[in-house]
Amino acid sequence: MRKYIWKRIFFSVLSLLAVTWIVMLLVFSLTDRSAIFQTDDVWNKRSNNDRVLYEYTQYQRYGYLEFVNFTAFSKAKWAGVYGDSFDSSKEYTDDRNVIQKVGDDYLKNQTVQEFIQYYESRGYTIVRLDPIRYSTGAKQLKPGGTGYLLATKEKLIIVRLWDYIKGFFTFETKRDVDDPELTDRYIRFEKDPYSGLFAIVGSGTTHKYLLYFDGKFPFIHQNWIHMNLGVSFTRYRGQEISSVITDSQGDLKTTRQQYPNQIGTDQWADTAIDFHTLTYNTGELTENEKQLFPDKYTNATYRRDGLSMIGTSFVIGIIATIFQYAFGLPLGILMARKKDTWIDKVGMWYIIFFMSVPSLAYIFIFAAIGTSLFGLPYKFANASVKILAYILPTVSLSIPAIGGLMKWMRRYMIDQMNSDYVKFARAEGLSEREIYSTHISKNAMIPIIHGIPGNILGCLVGAIITESVYSVPGVGGLLTKAIAGHDNGVIVACTVFYTTLSLISLILGDVLMAKFDPRISFDSKGGR
Amino acid sequence: MADTIKKDAVVNEDELFTFVSNDSIESEKIIAPRYSYWRSVFRVFFRKKSNWVAITMLVLLFLCSFLIPAFCTYDPYENVTNATMFNQSPAQAMRQTGGFSFKWLLGSGQIGNSIFYGIWASARTSLLLASICAAINMSIGIIMGAVWGYSKTMDKTMIVIYSIIANVPYILLISVLVYIIGSGFWSFVFALTITGWLSISYFFRTQVMIIRDREYSLASRCLGTPIPRIISKNIMPFLTSVIVTLLATELPSYISVEVFLSFIGIGLSAKVPSLGRMIQEGQVAFRTYPWAFWPPVAIAALLTIILYVLGQNLADATDPRTHM
């Protein structure tokens, strides 16, 4: 059993890698990469060569290519010769001036020749952006018209995949912060003034609190290991997707707290800052910050009163799943018991309706009924009482799901009803109720059990249509919005996330089924 | 008892029996009522009154969605500059255009488009899409599935390919493909069919494997029947009802997928009339302008439910056990 599961996990990881590679291949090499600039303000403000340079910077940031600017190369070269005073040297000034000349003159420069030779031998392509002047021979450059000399190299998809895997998990160490002023670097246990308990606190790490307790579920939290699903290119520009979906949303939740330097005094402040999320500030501290904080850990996120994107989806999904099993299973058993009576027929019509009608149609029917007959809030954000907003999405998810479960439960029950063990139980004189509730339904449950992990984990993915109809701030629309907005990083992140969930739920389903039914064995050898 | 035997014994044997000629061809014939498979299928199918109703409705829907767009061209942008025609109820739209007309039977949409013409043009797209995709996916899926299920060497490679692709969520795959290759009608067909056949094929492979190892099939192989003949004569007839059942779920599912994808904005482009897009446009104000929203929903629901019910009943009828 254990060996089998390890084997399954191994093949699942392989499969995940293959899927990620395929999607990266599709998304990064077959789509128009410049689409990410359509909504980019910085790109819109820049013009001419500066815009091109900005494009290269962004492409490098999002892993499309690597590029080297000639100025940086020259700087490094002359800094090696003259040390810190390189920028007053004649050679460096020459290098900088020569690429601002229109024409091929720059090729005669010694450093340029070295640059071209060095990078061309390493497979880079040389890109020359001629300076743009108002008229030929004019001295003044057009805005953003500075000349550049670059060496670029496209990254292969397989290299991108490798970079992605390498950076998937990052651990914070005490050497993370790049700041020569910080000399006292450590990771140690400290008393945490905000929880009253102990916490692991780091100095030199990006986060101050690496492991801590607080009053929020699941009570113990960590900032030590980070999972990097991918960076958003457009919609949440530059943000890491795993933090986008797990950060809480809604209005700021202000509480009476003390800043680190106020602890021990009687000064209090009304703030929404969550002091457990402090991160290192590499910039200059303001006077105010110097007063309030003992160190340079001054950046923090704010507490908000809403659930995170993934939390909202999960709450709606899990309630719907509970309803699905609570109603679907008994109704399916009932249909099988009363086969060919009116109960069965009504149930069949219910099932056929939800099987065949597009989900979009019945979700709107629910919305229309719920809003006009019961006065429930239609759009999530407009609800005056927050709990009421959850009712329609939950109902819209669970009612069709009940139908789906009923169909399978009825099918499996009927398949079991003609088995020999049922006839034997009847011959023994067991009551019909006992036969159905303990004998048949137990056997019919086996294939149903296989789907339970998938249903629960599926709640983390969200419901695309339901969430979009009721404007639920969940994760359901993440992928579709990413596709509409050319957010390639999010597309890859979603692929990895969804695929991982589906792989895990398949393995869990098999394990659970084997636990529930002793007849099922995964061992290839043995067996009598 | 003994008496009767005695009595019989008295009768001359020649009077009781006459010799028949020994015809070896005649003796091979089995005297039984003539049985034709497909005739029985349709006999069983049409015995149900509800199927007649469903077929009539389906034919009507087909006629409407192919004839109405053929004679009355749907142009969503015809009133795009005439703001007075935007979001008009049927009565208002007819009053503005002067008297009763079929064109404004269901009012106008958010850019003054005729809803009535729109739903039929869109229904035609949906029906075409569903039938083309089902035809491609089913034929590739069944042929590949039959070979896959029969050949053990192919099974090894195909199962790896399948387990990789089956792990990718369906919507993800289609939407990424549509994103890459564009959203015209044919690129949408391509996106739906490039991997769509794989799941059909996998389902079919299992069915073929079950029948492949049955005794009669084994016997046939021992007698030297070529593989294509085993597949087409021994295995395929057994799977007719499986194929029809599959078709009954596949055909309406493409309509649902199109509606779903167009709704979330990654389906067909704005140039192709589609039910999903009409629903998406209508849902913005579905309580204020219900006439623009409910008709496309109703058509989509009606089409899928009729196709589904008919398919299921046909699948039941193709099962020889019902031919009593």
In tens, the pLDDT along A259-277 reads 888 887 888 888 888 888 8
Q: Does B104 share its domain with B227?
A: no
Looking at every residue in chain B, the average pLDDT score rounds to 82
Does the distance separating the beta carbons of A364 and B283 come in below 8 Å?
yes
Residue type, A119: Y
Contact B122, B273 (CB under 8 A): yes
DSSP notation for A425-494: HHHTT--HHHIIIIIIHHHHHHHHHHHHHHHHHHTTT--HHHHHHTT--SSTTHHHHHHHTT-HHHHHHH
- Three-state secondary structure of A8-44: HHHHHHHHHHHHHHHHHHHHHHHCCHHHHHCCCHHHH
Residue A134 touches partner B, C-beta closer than 8 Å: no
Q: What pLDDT score does A524 carry?
A: 52
d(Cα A115, Cα A73) in Å, to the nearest integer?
7
User: B155: helix, coil or strand?
Assistant: helix
* Residue B273, in any domain of the structure: yes
Report the share of chain B in percent with pLDDT over 70. 96
Q: Does B99 share its domain with B135?
A: no
* Residue B277, in any domain of the structure: yes
pLDDT over 70 (residue B53)? yes
Of B65, B97, B113, which closes a domain? Answer: B113
CB atoms near residue B254 (< 10 Å): 25
DSSP notation for A42-111: HHHH--HHHHHHHHHHHHHHTTSEEEEEHHHHHHHHHHHHHGGGGGGSHHHHHHHHHTTSSSSGGGGSHH
Residue A129 touches partner B, C-beta closer than 8 Å: no
CB atoms near residue B286 (< 10 Å): 18
Q: Does B57 share its domain with B122?
A: yes
Give B111-169 pLDDT, tens digit per residue: 778 888 888 998 998 889 999 999 999 999 998 988 888 887 888 888 888 877 776 76
Closest CA to B299 of B263, B257, B256: B256
* Residue B242, in any domain of the structure: yes
- Three-state secondary structure of B252-266: HHHHHHHHHHHHCCC
Does the distance separating the beta carbons of B260 and A358 come in below 8 Å?
yes
Q: Does B158 share its domain with B88?
A: no
Helices A2-30, B152-167: crossing angle, 10 deg rounding: 70
d(Cα A152, Cα A65) in Å, to the nearest integer?
7
d(Cα B250, Cα B311) in Å, to the nearest integer?
10
Q: What is the mean pLDDT of residues B225-231?
A: 85
Contact A231, A239 (CB under 8 A): yes
Q: What pLDDT score does A314 carry?
A: 92
d(Cα A128, Cα A125) in Å, to the nearest integer?
10
Q: Is this prediction's ipTM beyond 0.85? A: no
Q: Tell the burial category of A247 from Cβ atoms under 10 Å away from its Cβ (0-12, 13-18, 19+).
A: middle
User: A152: helix, coil or strand?
Assistant: strand
Q: Does B288 share its domain with B254?
A: yes
Residue A202 backbone phi and psi in degrees, to 5: -120, 155
Q: What pLDDT score does A526 carry?
A: 43
Residue A352 touches partner B, C-beta closer than 8 Å: yes
Q: Does B94 share its domain with B42?
A: no
Please identify every stretch of chain A with a pLDDT value under 50, giving residue numbers as ranges: 525-528
* Residue B20, in any domain of the structure: no
Does the distance separating the beta carbons of A468 and B305 come in below 8 Å?
no
Q: Does B182 share its domain with B206?
A: yes
pLDDT band at B7 (very low <50, low <70, confident <90, very high): low
Residue A364 touches partner B, C-beta closer than 8 Å: yes
d(Cα B318, Cα B320) in Å, to the nearest integer?
6
Q: Does B183 share its domain with B307?
A: yes
| Cβ neighbours of A361 in B, within 8 Å | 259, 279, 297-298, 300-301
Q: Which of A66-80, B22-36, B193-207 has the lowest mean pLDDT?
A: B22-36
Does the distance separating the beta carbons of B255 and A491 come in below 8 Å?
no
Scanning every residue of chain B, which has its alpha carbon at the shortest distance from the alpha carbon of A501? Answer: B167
Q: Does B153 share its domain with B233?
A: yes
Residue-number span of the structural domain to which B101 is assigned: 79-113
What stretches of A262-303 show up as alpha helix (H) in DSSP? 287-292
Could you tell me if residue A123 is left (phi over 0), alpha (psi between -120 and 50 degrees) or otherwise beta?
Answer: left
Q: What separation, in Å, do the N-terminal and C-terminal C-alpha atoms of chain B show?
A: 42
Scanning every residue of chain A, which has its alpha carbon at the shortest distance from the alpha carbon of B253? Answer: A356
Of B56, B89, B113, which closes a domain? Answer: B113
* Residue B7, in any domain of the structure: no
In chain A, domain spans: 65-154, 169-227+252-299, 309-472
Q: What pLDDT score does A155 carry?
A: 87
Q: What is the mean pLDDT of residues B91-114?
A: 75
Q: Looking at the 3D structure of chain B, how many domains does it have?
A: 2
Q: What separation, in Å, do the N-terminal and C-terminal C-alpha atoms of chain A show?
A: 16
Distances (CA, A) of B275 to B77, B129, B178, B252, B285: 17, 12, 18, 13, 16
Q: What pLDDT score does A322 carry?
A: 95
Q: Does B64 share its domain with B87?
A: no
Class of domain A309-472: mainly alpha
Q: Does B184 share its domain with B100?
A: no
Identify from A9, A356, A373, A504 which residue to disrupt to test chain B contact, counting B C-beta atoms within 10 A and taking the largest count: A356
User: B204: helix, coil or strand?
Assistant: helix
Q: Does B105 share its domain with B60?
A: no
CATH number for position B235: 1.10.3720.10
- Report the predicted TM-score, pTM, of the whole model to 2 decimal places: 0.81
Closest CA to B275 of B262, B290, B289: B262
Q: What pLDDT score does B55 carry?
A: 92
Could you tell me if residue A83 is left (phi over 0), alpha (psi between -120 and 50 degrees) or otherwise beta?
Answer: left
Shortest distance, CA A291 to any CA of chain B (angstroms): 50
* Residue B4, in any domain of the structure: no
d(Cα B78, Cα A514) in Å, to the nearest integer?
63
User: A345: helix, coil or strand?
Assistant: helix
* Residue B6, in any domain of the structure: no
* Residue B24, in any domain of the structure: no
